[in-house]
Amino acid sequence: MVKWKTKISDSTDEGTSVRGYSLEELVGKISYAEMVYLLLRGKLPTAEEGKMVDSILVSVAEHSIGTPSIMSARTAASGSGSFVQGLAAGILAIGEHHGGAGEGCAKVLQENLGKTAGDVVSAFSAKKERLPGYGHKVYTTDPRTHKLFKLAKELGIFGSYCNFALELEKELEKSQGKKLCLNVDGAIAAIISEMGFHWRVAKAFFVIPRTAGISAHVIEELTEEKPFAKRLESSEYEYTGERGKNLGK
């Protein structure tokens, strides 16, 4: 029999330990942000890192009803009447184009630090691929990036990954002929890279906090809207298929 292995936690008759610390002792002593850091990184953060993670969690907890995750969550809640189904549907809409670009961006930063920003942007252009963590549906400058980088500087966390991310932003503007801002996913990717997180962890820093925002929307849908309230009226979509086909029988 091959045993499952984990270094994260253990639960026995004597209690539960998380990353070697007694869960009971952690309760009331560390913040939720510090707990997230402990779980994902395997060690407790410094005070500065804890504050940084807390700010990241706040920055992406909610954005607007018009995002794919919230639209999906509210639609699923409207149809199913279920909190968990609505929440799961919202999370499933998070990915490379919405909320999940941090993973690709952190990979780019961690694998290319030391190369010139121009070379990295040219390599993406040559493949006709978008650089993850840049551009936004609404913003030309993402205010959340500005705030998180300001805090990262104050907390002594801002360093070569953040600088590299900003150099890439400048090079992308040159190559595309228009500003494609370092968005919040990209900013978080740079900051967590500074704190030593593997790029694979990046999406967790969006999904964990956005779960709170999605939950609020699902609860609002379930308590303030009628069941099946989310549907499209015929004026809201366009049928582009054929009509009047004959079965020929």
Find, among 117, 95, 115, 123, the residue nearest to 202 by Cα.
95
Q: What is the rounded CA–CA span in Å between residue 122 and residue 162?
A: 20
Q: What are phi and psi of 50, to 5 degrees?
A: -60, -45
When binding is defined by CB under 6 A, the residue of 109, 183, 187, 213 that contacts ligand COA is: 183
Residues from 133 through 162 that contact ligand COA (CB under 6 A): 133-137
176 scored as a contact of ligand COA (CB under 6 A):
yes
For CA atoms 146, 207, 165, 184, the dihedral sign is: negative
DSSP at 73: H
Cβ-based nearer residue to ligand COA, 170 or 230: 170
When binding is defined by CB under 6 A, the residue of 35, 101, 106, 208 that contacts ligand COA is: 101
From 24-32, 84-92, 112-120, 177-185, span contacting ligand COA (CB under 6 A):
177-185
Q: What are phi and psi of 49, to 5 degrees?
A: -65, -40
97 scored as a contact of ligand COA (CB under 6 A):
yes
Q: Residue 237, Cβ neighbours under 10 Å: how many?
A: 8
Q: Please say whether the beta carbons of 188 and 199 come within 8 A.
A: no
Show the binding pattern over residues 202-221: x = contacts ligand COA (CB under 6 A), - = does not.
Answer: --------------------
Show the binding pattern over residues 32-71: x = contacts ligand COA (CB under 6 A), - = does not.
Answer: ----------------------------------------
For residue 135, the minimal CB distance to ligand COA (Å) is 2
Q: Which token pair is 176?
A: 């595309």
181 scored as a contact of ligand COA (CB under 6 A):
no
Q: Please say whether the beta carbons of 59 and 144 come within 8 A.
A: yes
| Binding residues for ligand COA (CB under 6 A) | 97, 101, 130-137, 172, 176, 180, 183, 185
